[in-house]
Amino acid sequence: MEPTNRPAAQAEPITPLTASIPASSGEAMDLGRPPKEKLPKEKLPKDLRVLFRFAPFISAVPFLAFSATNYFAAVQAQEIDNAGKVSALALISGVSAFAAMLAMPLAGVLTDRTRSRFGSRRPWILIGALIGSVAMITAGLSTSIATLTLAVVFVQFGFNAFGAPFSALLPDRVPTRFRGRYSTLVGLGTLVAGVLGAIIGSFFVTMIPIGYASIAGVLLLLTVWFVVALKDKDNRGEPRQPFNVLAFLKAFWVNPIKFPDFFWGFLGRFLLFGGFSLLNTYGLYILQDYIHVPVAESLKLAPLLGLATLPTILISTSIAGPLSDRIGKRKPLVLAGGLIIAMGALVPIVAPSVLGIIISGMVVGLGFGTFISVDQALMSSVLPDAQRFGTDLGVLNIASTLPSVVGPAFAGFIVLTFGGYLALYIAVVVVALVGALAVLPIKSVR
């Protein structure tokens, strides 16, 4: 972890990737006073340009898979068992949550210890995409809740395994002064993919197997292109720690007393991703059972509601990351993002209508875009051990991926227990507020 108490460089407005930005006196930014004189500008180094160009597209891969799979699974659960659709979707999500939780630390431990002519990260990125893509095709052929659940388990396992080595590329390769911009690109890919997955899926609602196969094929081809284009050094001569069961089990644990900043960052990320994901999977059922939109119309309307959030997502994500680099502060923007998410969840409570859902989505998108574009840069500065970036990021990424599969299960529990979706929106408000406030105790980053 790089120090955060060095003299800061005054940042310039961020322009396109090839634009110049100020050079800092060191990798880390002190998130405090600006210097008295403007430092010479420097361009994005050539060895980073491939990674930055691919960043929004490759970061989109797992979330496009999750979004499309969630949409298809909701439709399939309704077709297989309409009366029990909420509990069926909760079961699918709950079981696949375990696979997501297992995949991230396992992939993190393995990628840190991998030695090959292709480096340590690229092989596992490709393996994860291959597992997830095959599982998506299998999900499209499922005719029962049991087989659908098993297929979704491997979708989650594969693309979560993809996420651990990809996330490790940030601390591996990206200097601190470029991390806000890089996080913005990753955030854009993540958020847009979360919206587009369901929209793309809606075009295949009457031919779901073809939809699964088409999306899986594109994602796998994009991944292959990335791992070929992103060069890495042969690391077969580097020392490595031997893999054992104890090391794997330890990967699930970071001492919150010894590393409190990591703990608070993990908690905030988990809750804010959780609040965002609580509503996503059940969007189709919310339209049908809370807003009372006819089934046929809701199948078309649900993905389009996500499209309405794109303007606010793009605006907030594009501004917040570079702004955090310029002002040298991460925490205020992460806090603001969480509070805005909570405000957005209040709208359907007072205005339970299609318009209310649209406004809510736009506000939540504004908040989540602000949060996600800065959070990755913040968390890269509080990783416990510089020798195990892949492992620590594997643990950290549980906080962003596990809510996407636990959220629907928890949401289903709330709906079934309290008898409606009003309680779900109240839960989102509470979860988002607590998640936003969790950033305040972090001391090593401003």
Q: Is the dihedral of CA 143, 288, 89, 403 positive or negative?
A: positive
**Element housing 42 (H / E):** strand 41-42
What is the pTM for the complete model shown?
0.67
d(CA 367, CA 364): 5
The string of pLDDT tens digits covering residues 190-212 is 878 877 888 898 889 889 999 99
User: How many CB atoms are located within 10 Å of the residue 244 CB?
Assistant: 10
> Is the separation of the CB atoms in 286 and 304 below 8 Å?
no
Which residue(s) pair with 42 in the sheet?
A: 21
d(CA 260, CA 138): 42
Residue 77 has a pLDDT of 92
Maximal C-alpha separation, the chain: 68
Question: What is the residue extent of each domain of the chain?
Answer: 53-437
Residue 320's nearest CA partner among 331, 309, 305, 310 is 331
pLDDT band per the 50, 70, 90 thresholds, residue 237: low
Residue 436's nearest CA partner among 325, 309, 273, 324 is 273
Residue 220 has a pLDDT of 96
Residue 308, pLDDT > 70, answer yes
Residue 46, pLDDT > 80, answer no
d(CA 250, CA 422): 40
> Is the separation of the CB atoms in 444 and 4 below 8 Å?
yes
Residue 99 has a pLDDT of 81
Percent of the chain with pLDDT over 70: 78
**Element housing 321 (H / E):** helix 310-327
Residue 106 has a pLDDT of 78
Q: Averaged over 56-83, what is the pLDDT? A: 90
pLDDT band per the 50, 70, 90 thresholds, residue 2: very low
Residue 25 has a pLDDT of 32
Length of the chain measured in residues? 446
* Share in percent of the chain as helix, strand, coil (round to 5): 70, 0, 25
Residue 6 has a pLDDT of 38
One-letter identity of residue 38: K
Residue 158 has a pLDDT of 93
What value does the mean pLDDT of the chain take? 78
CATH top-level class of 53-437: mainly alpha
The string of pLDDT tens digits covering residues 175-184 is 777 777 787 7
